[in-house]
Amino acid sequence: MKQLVVCSLGCLAYSCQGSGNKHADNQAAATILTATSEKSLTDSLYKYMHLSEFVSRGDSARYVLYGENLGTDKIGVVAITDSVLLFFQSIHSTTQLTGRFTFADYASDFKKDDLNGDNKDDFIVYGNANMHGQKLPYVFISDSAGVMHYRPNLSLHNISYDWNKKELHSFYFGGAFSVHSKRIYHWRGDSIEQTAGLEYNMGNGEIEVYRMRNGKRFQRKLYHNHNEAVFDTALFKIDDY
């Protein structure tokens, strides 16, 4: 069944792109695709929403369609590369468009997770990996009714929730001579506040571990001489990366 989906949508992509101007740049091509095929791609998403999970990637990575069951509900994504992302949810047994925003990225992966400890599924669309292998997440948080909302303020690299400490964790791996980092956030109602962090300067080997108070950063401890063990264990341990 999944192979049938990919084949059908691949044909759709070809028909949407048409002959076009072969000298147009990538941005112009993405704009043309958005204008001519957004409705067609949405129709295709609806057509295959009966499947428990599916993914289809268009020719030349021009778009990605994704659908998945989250318990009794379903979600769907139409991500047109460097153009727009459409987010669909089943509400009262009807699939509806609940989110649309500019998407200057490529949808590489998808993940359901609970990011605030409320025992409701949240959802992440991951962008394309940068030169350091880091993918920017586009996060959707469930409200009390289970409806997900896009939260651009939660676009934190390698975001995860620590159930034991009730903390939101984020970390970033830079290049060989740039900065690696860790950050800890706590939920304050429906918003997050950074409470601690760490920066590892790979160029000079210094690691600074700090706390945050009232939005200001206070140095707690400074380490020297490329102490990778400190980076690995300070604040929180990075597992399964």
Residue 235 confidence (pLDDT): 95
94-103: which pairs have CB atoms within 8 A and are 24 or more residues apart?
95/46, 95/49, 97/42, 98/147, 98/148, 98/149, 99/140, 99/148, 99/149, 99/150, 101/150, 101/152, 103/79, 103/138
Confidence at 153, pLDDT banded by 50, 70, 90: very high
The average pLDDT across 71-80 equals: 89
Alpha helices (H) in the chain, listed in sequence order = 2-17, 26-47, 228-233
Mean pLDDT of 183-198: 96
As a whole number of angstroms, the distance between CA 205 and CA 107 comes to: 34
> Is residue 10 pLDDT above 50, yes or no?
no
User: Which pLDDT value is given to residue 173?
Assistant: 92
Which pLDDT score, from 0 to 100, does residue 64 have? Answer: 96
pLDDT of 229 reads 83
- pLDDT in the model for residue 31: 58
**Is the pLDDT confidence value at 3 over 70?**
no
What's this model's pTM, rounded to 2 decimal places?
Answer: 0.82
pLDDT of residue 37: 78
Which pLDDT score is estimated for 138? 98
Give me the pLDDT at residue 9, please: 45
Three-state DSSP state, 184: strand
Q: Which helix (H) or strand (E) holds 76?
A: strand 73-80
Confidence (pLDDT) at 35: 54
Q: Each residue of 108-152: pLDDT tens digit?
A: 999 999 999 999 999 999 999 999 999 999 999 999 888 999 999
Each residue of 19-67: pLDDT tens digit? 445 545 666 655 555 556 789 999 999 998 889 999 999 988 999 999 9
Tell me what pLDDT residue 8 has: 41
pLDDT number for residue 16? 40
Q: What residues contact 226, with CB distance under 8 A and at least 6 apart?
A: 202, 205
Q: What is the pLDDT of residues 192-224, one digit of tens each?
A: 999 999 999 988 889 999 999 988 998 889 988
- Are 229 and 238 contacting, i.e. CB atoms less than 8 angstroms apart? no
- Please give the residue that has the higher pLDDT: either 19 or 4: 19
